[in-house]
Amino acid sequence: MSSTPADYLLIYQRLLVHYGPQGWWPGETPFEVMVGAILTQNTAWQNVARAIARLQAVGCLDAKPILACPHEDLAELIRPAGYFNVKARRLQAYCAWYQDQGGFDALQVWPTATLRQALLAVHGIGPETADDILLYAFARPIFVIDAYTKRLGARLGLCAAKVKYETLQADIVRQLPLDVALFNEYHALIVRHSKAVCRAKPLCTDCCLWACCPHGCRSGLHYGLY
C-alpha cells in the first residue's frame, strides 16, 4: 500500500489527456458553489442542480433569504436534492455562520488553515464539503478527497481501502505541485473517470490508467475496477 513519488501526478496527466479539462465547479458565484457543496452530499448532481434552480427562481440563492425562509418552505424548495430536512438545517447553519463572519470578502482574507477549521466547526460541514468550499469557492490549494478518490487509490494499490481522509489527502498532495488549477481539475477528472468507467466494465487495458497500475493488470484481479 505505498506509492512511488510520482504515481498521483502520472494519474492526473493521463486522466487530463484522456478526458480533457472538466471546467469545474458548475456554479456562477462562490455562494452558489457553497450551496452546491452542501446539497450534493451523497447526492447525484442533477438533483442538486434542480434544487439550486428552484432556489434561484424564488430569489432564495443568497444567505439572507435562506435565513429568512421558514424551515418547511426551504425544505420544500430543495426537495429534489434529497435529505431535504437535514440539508435545510445545514444550509441555514452555514448561512448563519457565513453572515456572522461578514460574507465572502471578509472570509477571503483568512489563512487557509484557519478557514478550514472554522468550516469544519459549522454543523453539517465535514472534511469533503469543507474542502469543496475551500478549493472551488475560495480558490485555495486544498485537494478534495471523496469516495471515488479512495476507491481509485485502493484499486491501484496506492492506499488502504479504509484510509483516513487527511492521510490520503496528505499523501496525494505530497506528490503534486501546490496548484489550485491542478487540484481543481484533478478532483473533477477523478469524478468523471469514475462515472465513465465504473459501470461500463471495460477490459483493464482499455482503461486510460492501465499503464499506471503497478500490478500491470495481468491477473484479472483489477478487471473493470478503475
> Which residues form the interface with DNA (CB under 7 A)?
24-26, 36-37, 40-47, 50, 75, 79-80, 82-87, 123-130, 132, 136, 146-148, 162, 164, 191, 194-195, 198-199
Report in angstroms how near the CB of residue 52 gets to DNA at its nearest.
11
92/129 with CB nearer DNA:
129
- Pure H helices in the chain: 7-19, 30-39, 45-57, 63-68, 71-77, 84-100, 103-107, 112-120, 127-132, 147-155, 165-173, 180-198
Minimum Å gap between C-beta 130 and DNA is 6
CA 184, CA 187: separation in Å to the nearest integer?
Answer: 6
Of 6 and 160, CB closest to DNA: 160
Question: Measured from the CB atom, is 6 or 166 closer to DNA?
Answer: 166
Cα of 177 vs its chain's centroid, Å? 19
Nearest distance from residue 27's CB to DNA, in Å?
8
Give the residue with the Cβ less far from DNA, 87 or 222: 87
Is-contact 49 39, C-beta < 8 A?
Answer: no
Smallest gap from Cβ 119 to DNA, in A, equals 9
State in angstroms the smallest separation of the CB of 200 from DNA: 10
Positive or negative torsion for Cα 206, 209, 212, 215 = negative
Nearer to DNA, 6 or 121 (CB): 121
Q: Which of 136, 221, 112 is nearest to 184 (CA)?
A: 136
Residue 181 makes CB contacts below 8 A (sequence gap 6+) with none
